[in-house]
Structure formats: C-alpha cells, structure tokens
C-alpha cells in the first residue's frame, strides 16, 4: 500500500475503499488533507463495513514506521487516530509478516468498540458468517486462524451486566476477536436460504439490534454515562424503532401457514411488529419535535405509546431469535417479559 505496509485482506474490502475514492466528494476530501489544506488532524471513523474500510484507509494513508508492518501516528502527514464500531477482523497473516500495527500507540485515541452479541467482530468479512469449511477451502486453515483487526488499537467490548453497560478491555491492542467456536454453533447462514429473500431478511433482522448504528450509539453513551442497557431503557427502544426502514422495505406477504413453514411465518409476524413499531415511533418523534423543553416523555398517554412500541420491538426480535438462534434468545438478551 502507499504507506509501504503490506496487507492480506479480502478483495471486497479493497473494492469498497475504491468505491469511496471514486465518489464525487473524495477529491474535495483529498484537498482538505493535502499539504496546506484546512485539516490539522485526521480521525478515521467507521461502523460495521465502514469500520472495515476505516482500517484499510488507516493503513493506506498512514506512514510506515521502522518495521515493514508498523505504522506511525500520522495519516496524510497529520496526527491521526482511528475509532471503529463493530468492525470485522479483515487482515490475515501473509508471507510479508503479521497483521499491520500502529506502533507504540495503544491508548484511548485508537479504539475498536464492539458489542458482546455482535457477530461481525467475531466472524469473517467475506464469505461472511459461519461457513468456516468454505473459508478454509478457499484460504487454508492456518490463514483463518490469523484473522485479526488492525493492531495497536485498543479493543473495548461492551457488555450489559445487571442492567448496566460496562466495558472490558479485551486483550489489549493486539488480540483477535475472531471466535471460531461461536460461529460453528450458529445454526443458520445466508446460503441455507438459497434464493429466498424472505429467509434472508429474517436472518439479517435476527442480528438486529446489536448490528445497528443506533444500538452502538446508545450503548456507547450508556457505558460512558452510566445509563441502563439498551433493553432496559424504553427511550432507547423508541430511538431504535424510529430508525427502522420504511414500511415498504419491511413488507412481507406469507404464502404459507405457520404449520407449513414456522420460520417464514415467524419472519412475517416479526416484520409486521417491527414495521408497526417503526411507524409509531416516527410519528411520535415528529409530534414531539417542536416541544421547547427537555422532557421527552411527559404524559401518561406518551408513556403508553412508548410502552406499545417497546413491546412490539421486543416481541418482533424474540420471534426471530427463537427460529434463527434459540441459544441467543435464552441468554436473557431480551427481557423475559417479552417472550
């Protein structure tokens, strides 16, 4: 790469970064970070797939340090830090050496934040998911064992215990978050769906909300501010519901009965609940957006609306988890009252 550091990663990651560089705003960004440009410091930030691109960007536009696989603390010749949320371990050991690292900067400036229930940090980017046999056939077993994030970046795992969000410094700044055992136990993957888009929708939604941006925003704030965990805070669930896709993207018309296909019926019922929750939350937010005070939920009527949305979100997620990943549903991720 331009930094002089060698990397081994998926073509998909390079393609995603190239797509950004081909965008209309990228040339303006390069002017901002060019010598004499307005930027004095660079913060590389990304969530999920964006976090994968952020890692590659940090390597591409960093500067190689003394070791061929080490980066110094700069990007574009300026002080630089990277913060990712729920990113995947996209780098693999190669003949050039270990995963690239930011040398001597294991501190709170360079941080990888991930949730204990998010599948991406413990999985592989492409082919994504639990199909380890396919991956090992493509890249050999010793390669998959080396899967890791950019090193020199502090790993912070968010966990909810006793209703409060806590963090665990998970292995310092070099340890991998890849968990072969976790993925091997996951019962379903996208390829089992074949061309069935409804099946794929159900599997994708079963990763919600701990894959969602709004979940990460809330959980990070909750950790720093001492707030209750996501599922214990009615306003957090309202915030999440208001960000759900529009109704046309959540439409589903089952052609089978529950007895014929319980999974598809669960998907149908879940989509309906999440769709209703999202529309109600959006309307509620719009109705209260003009208020001139800090109180978000005031009247008993407001509380009833919030309670209705919360129940539909929890019930919708539970329906999916029971079908897709029963083990997750039993780990008290979702409150018992919602089951």
* Residue ranges of domains in the chain: 1-186, 188-339
Residue 195 neighbours by CB under 8 Å, 6+ apart: none
Stated pTM of the model:
0.80
pLDDT at residue number 59:
92
- pLDDT, residue 78, reads 93
Measured distance CA(320)–CA(145) in Å, rounded: 31
Question: Among the residues of the chain, which ranges form H helices?
Answer: 11-21, 26-33, 49-60, 132-139, 141-144, 180-184, 197-205, 213-225, 234-241, 262-288, 300-324, 326-329
Q: If you compute the radius of gyration of the chain from its CA atoms, what whole number of angstroms results?
A: 22
CA–CA separation, 243 and 23 (whole Å):
26
CB atoms within 10 A of CB 302: 15
> Cβ(205)–Cβ(188) under 8 Å?
no
pLDDT on residue 243: 79
Q: List the pLDDT tens digit at each of the 339 positions of the chain.
A: 766 777 888 778 888 899 999 988 999 999 999 989 999 999 999 998 899 999 999 999 988 766 668 898 999 999 999 999 999 888 887 766 778 889 876 778 899 999 888 878 877 655 444 455 666 666 566 667 788 899 999 999 998 887 888 887 766 788 887 775 554 445 555 556 666 666 677 777 777 778 888 889 999 999 999 888 888 888 888 888 887 765 444 444 555 444 556 777 777 788 788 888 888 888 887 776 655 554 555 677 788 888 888 888 888 888 877 776 665 555 445 554 443
Handedness of CA 140, 142, 145, 151 (dihedral sign): negative
Distance CA 187, CA 46 (A): 29
- For residue 256, what pLDDT is reported? 47
Concatenating the DSSP letter of every residue in 122-150 gives: GS-TTTTSS-HHHHHHHH-HHHHTT-BPP
Is the bond into 209 cis (omega within 30 degrees of 0)? yes
């Amino acid at each position: 790469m331009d930094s002089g550091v060698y990397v081994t990663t998926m073509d998909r990651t390079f393609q995603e970064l190239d797509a950004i560089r081909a965008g209309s705003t990228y040339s303006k960004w390069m002017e901002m970070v060019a010598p004499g440009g307005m930027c004095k410091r660079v913060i590389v930030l990304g969530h999920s797939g964006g976090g994968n691109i952020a890692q590659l960007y940090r390597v591409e536009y960093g500067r190689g340090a003394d070791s061929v696989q080490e980066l110094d603390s700069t990007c574009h010749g300026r002080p630089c830090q990277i913060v990712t949320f729920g990113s995947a371990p996209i780098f693999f050991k190669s003949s050039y050496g270990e995963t690239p690292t930011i040398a001597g900067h294991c501190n709170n400036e360079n941080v990888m934040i991930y949730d204990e229930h998010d599948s991406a940090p413990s999985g592989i980017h492409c082919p994504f998911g639990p199909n380890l046999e396919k991956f090992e056939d493509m890249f050999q077993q010793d390669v998959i064992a080396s899967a890791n994030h950019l090193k020199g970046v502090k790993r912070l795992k968010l966990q909810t215990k006793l209703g409060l969000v806590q963090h665990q410094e998970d292995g310092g700044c070099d340890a991998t978050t890849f968990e072969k055992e976790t993925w091997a136990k996951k019962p379903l993957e996208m390829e089992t769906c074949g061309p069935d888009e409804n099946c794929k929708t159900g599997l994708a939604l079963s990763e919600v909300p701990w894959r969602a941006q709004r979940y990460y925003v809330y959980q990070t704030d909750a950790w720093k501010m001492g707030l209750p965990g996501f599922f214990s805070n009615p306003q957090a669930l309202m915030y999440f519901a208001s960000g759900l896709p529009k109704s046309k993207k959540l439409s589903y018309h089952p052609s089978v009965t529950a007895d014929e296909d319980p999974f598809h019926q669960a998907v149908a019922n879940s989509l309906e609940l999440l769709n209703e929750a999202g529309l109600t939350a959006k309307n509620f937010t719009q109705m209260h957006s003009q208020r001139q005070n800090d109180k978000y939920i005031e009247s008993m009527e407001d509380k009833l609306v919030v309670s209705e949305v919360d129940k539909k979100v929890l019930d919708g997620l539970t329906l999916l988890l029971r079908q897709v990943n029963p083990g997750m549903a039993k780990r008290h991720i979702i409150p018992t009252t919602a089951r």
